[in-house]
Structure 1
Amino acid sequence: MSLSGKVLKNALRLCNPLLNKRVSVVINSRSYYVGTSSIEPFHPIPGKEPVWTTAEEAVKKIKSGMRVYVHGTSCTPNVLVSAMAKHGSQAGLQNVECIHIHTEGPAEYCKPEYEGIFRGNSLFIGKNCREAVNQGRGDFTPIFLSETPHLFRRRILHLDVAMISVSPPDKHGFCSLGPSVDCTRAAIQNARCIIGQVNKKIPRTFGDGIVHQSHFDVMVETDEDLPVLKPHPQSDVEKKIGKFIAGNLVADGATLQMGIGSIPDAVLACLGNHRDLGVHSEMFSDGVVDLVYKGSITNAKKVIHTGKIVGGFSLGTKKLYDFLDNNPFVVMCDIEFVNNTAIICQNPKVTAINSCIEVDVTGQVVSDSIGARMYSGVGGQIDFIRGAALGLDGLGMPILALPSQTKRGESKIVGYLKEGAGVVTTRAHAHYIVTEYGIANLFGKSLRQRAYHLIRIAHPDHREELEKTAFERLKCMPAP
C-alpha cells in the first residue's frame, strides 16, 4: 500500500473505531497517480503522454491470467480485439478473461480455437458471443445495467487492461468516448492499463465521456468504420404493436426510454404527431433522430437535463453518428446515472418501452433466455420499468411488448414458462403488456384477472389452450 493509502487508512480508523476490524481502501495502482485514492480521467496529468504505437505492439501488454475490459456497442475496438486474439495465440497466453457488455464485430476470442487462451465474460450477451456462452466456452454474468459500474468502482472485478475506442485528441488533448459511455467510464477509472484505439470516425459527444489523452498508456491510430445497425423492415405485427403503444400509452410531454429493435422502431415511427417528447434512455438509434427533425422531441418538459437527450450508448447508421457529432443537444452519460431509478422517476410521464421473449399467464416476463438457452441479458429493463412505475408525477408507463407468437407459430404468452427460462421482470414488476392484439394492464390485478387479460391479447389460435392451462394452474377460470 502506498504512503497516502496508509495515512488514509489510519485516519479512517481514528474517525470510527468500528472500522478497525475491516477497512477496505481502494488505492489505484497506476504509478502516475500521486496522493489520491480516486481516479478522475478528465484532468491533464502534467508530464505524461501516451505511447503511440501499432495495435500489434499495444496488445503485448496483455499477459496470461489478466482481465481485459473491451469497450462495447458502436465503440468496439475491433482492430485491438483482432490483434489481441493473434497475440494470444502466438505468445501462448492462457486464461485471459475478456469482460464486456454487448459488442459488435467478430469477437475472435470467443471462437473455439481460442478456448483456454481467452474466456469471454458477457455482462450482456451479443450475437457474437452467444454460441460460446451456450457451449460453456464463455461466461455470462446476470446484472442490472445500472449496477455494472459497481463491479469496477467497488473492485469486485479488478481490471488489468481496458481496451477502448476514442475520438482523436483535440487541441487541448481531450478525447471522447463518443456514442458509448455506458460502463466504460467506470472501467477506465479502475483499469491498471488503458489502451486507446483512436478513430477519427468516432463522433465527439458531450457528457461524461471526455478523457484526457494523458490518462492513456498506449494509443493506436486507426481509421475504422463504426458498426452499423440498419433498421429492419417492420412487419405488420410490429406496426400494429407500434400503433397500440403510440396511440394509447404515449402522451405529449412524455420522457421516453426505448431499446433498439423492430418494436421500439415501430413505436417511434408512430410518434411524429406528438409534441414535447423527451428522451432519457440507456440507448437509442436512428428513430430518435427522425423525431428530432420533425420537432416531436424537444426535451422541454424534462426535469433531468432539461432540453437535452440523455443516453448511455447508441448504435445505428451513419445518420445517427453524424447527428451525435459535436451536438450539444445530446449528452452521453455514465450508465450508473442514466439508469438510476431515483433519477429516472423525476422526469415527467416516464414511458419505458421494452421488448421481451415470453410471458406466462401470471405476468412473469422472460427477456434474457429461450428456455435454458441464454440469449441476451438483464440489461436496463428493470431499471426503467421501476423508474417509470415510481414516477413522481404518478403518470409513468412501464411497457413490455412482444408479438403474440413466434415465427414457428408457438404462443409467446404461455401457461408455464419454458424449463430453464429466466425471469427478468417479475410478475410484481409487470404493468402493461402489449401484443398486436391489444394491451393488458396487469397492475393491481389478481392472478386470475391477469390470466384473463393476457389470454385476450394472445393469438386466437392459442387462447382455448391457454384457458385450459390457466384453469389447471389457478384452479379457477380466468375472469376480468
Structure 2
Amino acid sequence: MSAATLRSLFTGVRNIGRTLSRADRIYQSPKRSFYLYSPEPFHPIPDKEPKWTTAEDAVEVVTSGMTIYVHGCAATPNVLLEALCKHGIESRIRNVELNHIHTEGPAIYNEPEYDGIFRSNSMFIGGNCRKAVADGRGDFVPIFLSEIPLLFRRKIYNVDVALIQVSPPDNHGFCTLGPSVDCTRAAVQNAKYIIAQVNPNMPRTFGDGVIHMSHCDVMVQVNEPLPELHITPMTEEENKIGALIAENLVQDGATLQMGIGSIPDCVLAKLKDHRDLGVHSEMFSDGIIDLVECGAITNARKVIQTGKIVGGFALGTNRLYRFMNNNPMVVMNDIAMVNNTAIICQNPKVTAINSCIEVDLTGQVVSDSIGTRMYSGVGGQIDFIRGAALGLDGQGKPILAMPSTTKRGDSKIVTTLREGAGVVTTRAHVHYVVTEYGIAYLFGKNLRQRAYELIRIAHPDHREALETAAFERLRVMPCP
C-alpha cells in the first residue's frame, strides 16, 4: 500500500470521526502494530498527532461499561485518575472496570462513594486497594506476572482506554514508559484509545517501553513528582538475613533477581565486596545503585543482554529515577520477556531472592495472603523460582526469606497454614528458606527432613511446640 493511500485512509478515518461522539471515535483509531518481542513496534503513524488538552477534557471519552487499563507503580497517572473520578461523579457513569497491577497514590476510585461507578481489578494488590478488595468493592486476579500480557494479547481483556504516563517526546516524537514497562506495553499495544500523561519527571528509559506520540490519541501535560518508595531502617533480623544470604548463597558472577520488600534490599547492602554481579529482575530499587558505583554490578557475565541491567519495573526514590534517566546500562523490557523462565535460566548462577508471609513444615509457601485476607499477589515469585532452579549451569539458587516471627511474636514457620491462606510457591518448588536463624535447604528432602530443617531455623521460642506438632502430623520425629 502506498504512502498516499495510507494518508488517504487516515484522512477518511478522521473525517468520519468528526461526525461521531467521543466514545464512538475510540473505535475509529488506526490499528497499532503488534510484535511480541520486537524492541520497537511503535513506529510513527503517518499524518497522525495526538490532541493536547486538559486532564478533565481527556477523560470525557470514558463512558459506562468501559474497560480501562491503568499504568502502575512509579508511573501511575494520578492526575488523569483524579480527573477520571471527578468525571465519574459528574457524568453519572456506571460500571467502569479499572485493570492494573500495583499502583501508587491515593486510588480514590476505591473509596466507598465510587462504588458502582468504578471497580478496581487488581492483578497485584497494592496497599491502596487492600481495603476495597477486603470489603468486596474491588477484585483480585491470581496470575503469574509473566502471563498478565496474555490477558491483552489474547483479548481476554479488551481495553477500551489506556491511561498511561510517559516521558516527553524527543525530537523524533518518541516517548517512553519510563520506569514501568511490565505489562503496560501489551495493554497499550491492544488498547483502542490511549490517553498519555506527559511528565518531565519521568525518566527516559531504553528497551521495550518506547512509544511514538502518534500512537497516543490525547496527551496531557503535567509536572508532578513521581511516587517514591520510602526506605525504612533495616531491622536486626533483616540485617542478619541479608548477611546470611550475601555471605553464603550469592557467588561472584551471579545474576540477581530481587522481589519487593526490605529483605532483598538488605541483601544488596551486603554485596559490595562481590564482583561481576548481574541484574535480570522483574523489579529493582535504589539498592542496585551503590553496587554499580562500587563496581560490584557489571553484568559482564550475563548471557541475556550482557552488560545491561534488565528489569520490568522500578520503584524507589528520585535517586533511582535520576540513575535510570537516559542510562543505556538500564533496559526496561516487556514482562513477558523479563519473567520468561526459558530466558531466565540461561543466565549464570541465577539467584532469586523473594520474601514470603508463612511457610508450613512441608515447605508450602504463602506469599499473597494472610489467612483469607488478600494482601498482595502472585507476582513473579514462581517465574524466578523456576528460572533459578532450572538454570542451565546448574548453579541457580531459588531463595525465600522472611523473619522467623511476625511483629506480634507468632511463628512464621507453622505446622499447618492458616485457614484460607493461598499457596503461591508449592512444596515441590522450594529450595532455600532463610530466616535470621539460618538457611534451610529443602530440595530433595522428605517431609520429616524438611520439618527438621525448618524447625532448626524457626525462632527458639517456638521450636519445641513445632517439633511436637510435627510429630502429631507426620507420626514420626523430624530428623536430618
**Aligned twin of 1:390:** 390
Per-residue deviation, 1:260:
2.8
- Rounded Cα–Cα distance in structure 2 between residues aligned with 1:269 and 1:83: 40
**Aligned twin of 2:191:** 191
TM-score normalised over the length of structure 2: 0.93
Per-residue deviation, 1:32:
1.8
* Partner SS state of residue 56, structure 1: helix
The 5-angstrom pairing of residues 60-459 of structure 1 reads 60-459=60-459
- Rounded Cα–Cα distance in structure 2 between residues aligned with 1:277 and 1:315: 21
Task: Tell me the alpha carbon deviations over residues 69-127 of structure 1, each in whole angstroms, 9 at most, x when there is no partner.
Answer: 00000000000001001100110010000000000000111111100000000000000
Per-residue deviation, 1:33:
2.8
* Partner SS state of residue 125, structure 1: coil
Aligned residues of 1:74 and 1:103 also touching (Cα < 8 A): yes
- Rounded Cα–Cα distance in structure 2 between residues aligned with 1:38 and 1:291: 34
**Are residues 37 and 365 of structure 1, via their aligned partners in 2, closer, same or farther at CA, if it must alter by over 3 Å?**
closer
- Rounded Cα–Cα distance in structure 1 between residues aligned with 2:115 and 2:368: 24
- Rounded Cα–Cα distance in structure 1 between residues aligned with 2:325 and 2:368: 32
- Rounded Cα–Cα distance in structure 1 between residues aligned with 2:261 and 2:459: 22
Per-residue deviation, 1:262:
1.2
**Are residues 333 and 157 of structure 1, via their aligned partners in 2, closer, same or farther at CA, if it must alter by over 3 Å?**
same
Aligned residues of 1:120 and 1:139 also touching (Cα < 8 A): yes
**Aligned twin of 1:10:** none
- Rounded Cα–Cα distance in structure 1 between residues aligned with 2:288 and 2:232: 16
* Partner SS state of residue 160, structure 2: strand
Task: Tell me the alpha carbon deviations over residues 294-348 of structure 1, each in whole angstroms, 9 at most, x when there is no partner.
Answer: 1000000000000010000000001100000000001000000000000000000
Aligned residues of 1:41 and 1:188 also touching (Cα < 8 A): no
Aligned residues of 2:125 and 2:140 also touching (Cα < 8 A): yes
- Rounded Cα–Cα distance in structure 2 between residues aligned with 1:134 and 1:431: 32
TM-score normalised over the length of structure 1: 0.93
Aligned residues of 1:41 and 1:215 also touching (Cα < 8 A): no
**Aligned twin of 1:6:** none
- Rounded Cα–Cα distance in structure 2 between residues aligned with 1:314 and 1:238: 22
* Partner SS state of residue 468, structure 2: helix
**Aligned twin of 2:48:** 48
- Rounded Cα–Cα distance in structure 2 between residues aligned with 1:172 and 1:446: 60
- Rounded Cα–Cα distance in structure 2 between residues aligned with 1:410 and 1:416: 13
Per-residue deviation, 1:31:
3.6
**Aligned twin of 1:32:** 30
Per-residue deviation, 1:242:
0.2
Aligned residues of 1:286 and 1:320 also touching (Cα < 8 A): yes
Aligned residues of 2:34 and 2:189 also touching (Cα < 8 A): no
- Rounded Cα–Cα distance in structure 2 between residues aligned with 1:286 and 1:37: 33
State the AA in 2 paired with 1:44.
Answer: P
- Rounded Cα–Cα distance in structure 1 between residues aligned with 2:29 and 2:107: 31
State the AA in 1 paired with 2:31.
Answer: Y
- Rounded Cα–Cα distance in structure 1 between residues aligned with 2:27 and 2:221: 26
**Are residues 338 and 30 of structure 1, via their aligned partners in 2, closer, same or farther at CA, if it must alter by over 3 Å?**
farther
**Are residues 359 and 30 of structure 1, via their aligned partners in 2, closer, same or farther at CA, if it must alter by over 3 Å?**
farther
- Rounded Cα–Cα distance in structure 2 between residues aligned with 1:44 and 1:177: 16
Per-residue deviation, 1:37:
7.6
- Rounded Cα–Cα distance in structure 1 between residues aligned with 2:199 and 2:29: 27
- Rounded Cα–Cα distance in structure 1 between residues aligned with 2:100 and 2:419: 28
**Are residues 458 and 30 of structure 1, via their aligned partners in 2, closer, same or farther at CA, if it must alter by over 3 Å?**
farther
Aligned residues of 2:308 and 2:330 also touching (Cα < 8 A): yes
Percentage of matched positions with identical amino acids:
72
Runs of 4+ with >4 A deviation:
36-41
Task: Tell me the alpha carbon deviations over residues 132-182 of structure 1, each in whole angstroms, 9 at most, x when there is no partner.
Answer: 001110000000000000000110111100000000100100001011000
- Rounded Cα–Cα distance in structure 2 between residues aligned with 1:122 and 1:249: 34
State the AA in 1 paired with 2:355.
Answer: S
* Partner SS state of residue 162, structure 2: strand
- Rounded Cα–Cα distance in structure 1 between residues aligned with 2:29 and 2:209: 23
Per-residue deviation, 1:407:
0.7
Task: Tell me the alpha carbon deviations over residues 156-209 of structure 1, each in whole angstroms, 9 at most, x when there is no partner.
Answer: 111100000000100100001011000000000011100000001000000000
- Rounded Cα–Cα distance in structure 1 between residues aligned with 2:131 and 2:294: 41
Aligned residues of 2:194 and 2:216 also touching (Cα < 8 A): yes
State the AA in 1 paired with 2:334.
Answer: D
Aligned residues of 1:41 and 1:212 also touching (Cα < 8 A): no
- Rounded Cα–Cα distance in structure 1 between residues aligned with 2:304 and 2:30: 36
The more displaced of 347-356 and 38-47 is 38-47
Per-residue deviation, 1:41:
4.9
State the AA in 1 paired with 2:440.
Answer: A
Aligned residues of 1:158 and 1:190 also touching (Cα < 8 A): yes
* Partner SS state of residue 128, structure 2: helix
Aligned residues of 2:351 and 2:399 also touching (Cα < 8 A): yes
The more displaced of 175-184 and 258-267 is 258-267
Per-residue deviation, 1:453:
0.3
Paired residues in the alignment total 452
Per-residue deviation, 1:29:
5.1
- Rounded Cα–Cα distance in structure 2 between residues aligned with 1:146 and 1:265: 23
- Rounded Cα–Cα distance in structure 1 between residues aligned with 2:84 and 2:398: 42
| Structure 1: runs of 5+ lacking an equivalent | 1-27
| Structure 2: runs of 5+ lacking an equivalent | 1-25
Per-residue deviation, 1:287:
0.3
- Rounded Cα–Cα distance in structure 1 between residues aligned with 2:187 and 2:385: 26
- Rounded Cα–Cα distance in structure 2 between residues aligned with 1:189 and 1:355: 32
- Rounded Cα–Cα distance in structure 1 between residues aligned with 2:132 and 2:159: 22
Say yes or no: does 1:462 pair with 2:462. yes
- Rounded Cα–Cα distance in structure 1 between residues aligned with 2:449 and 2:182: 39
